[in-house]
């Protein structure tokens, strides 16, 4: 028990002696710009992949020739690509909302 109290006292003492460090405003702006660029690129790629799967599913639907297995498979392909696109778009909107809230809470960053 004494060791735990000594350890806690040591941690508290070192935390009290540490001086706070503040990040430079320009660095925050660069990080924010980088993260937004990465998110936009990923959304673009996901949109292109989703469009490709829409085309693939539509082509499979048209060329199924009444085969119920191929028809069902093509419907699932179109449905899953639509769900994936909706999730990616929701994530994009959510990231923009979080970015706007953070900017309003912490101020605008110098870019």
CA distance 58 to 108: 45
Long-range contacts of 15-18 (CB under 8 A, 24+ apart): none
pTM of model > 0.85: no
- State the DSSP string of 97-110: HHHHHHHHHH-PPP
Query: Is pLDDT of 22 > 90?
Result: no
Is 13 or 88 the better-scoring residue by pLDDT? 88
Size (the chain), residues: 111
Model confidence band, residue 16 (pLDDT cutoffs 50, 70, 90):
confident
Return the pLDDT at 28. 67
Structure tokens at 18: 């540490």
CA distance 60 to 66: 11
């Amino acid at each position: 028990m004494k060791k735990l109290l000594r350890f806690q006292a040591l941690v508290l003492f070192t935390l009290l002696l540490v001086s706070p460090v503040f990040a430079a405003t320009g660095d925050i702006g660069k990080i924010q710009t980088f993260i937004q660029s990465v998110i936009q690129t990923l959304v673009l790629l996901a949109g292109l992949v989703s469009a490709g799967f829409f085309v693939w599913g539509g082509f499979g639907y048209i060329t199924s020739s009444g085969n119920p297995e191929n028809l069902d498979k093509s419907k699932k392909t179109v449905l899953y690509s639509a769900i994936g696109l909706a999730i990616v778009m929701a994530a994009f909107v959510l990231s923009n909302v979080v970015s706007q809230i953070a900017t309003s809470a912490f101020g605008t960053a110098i870019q």
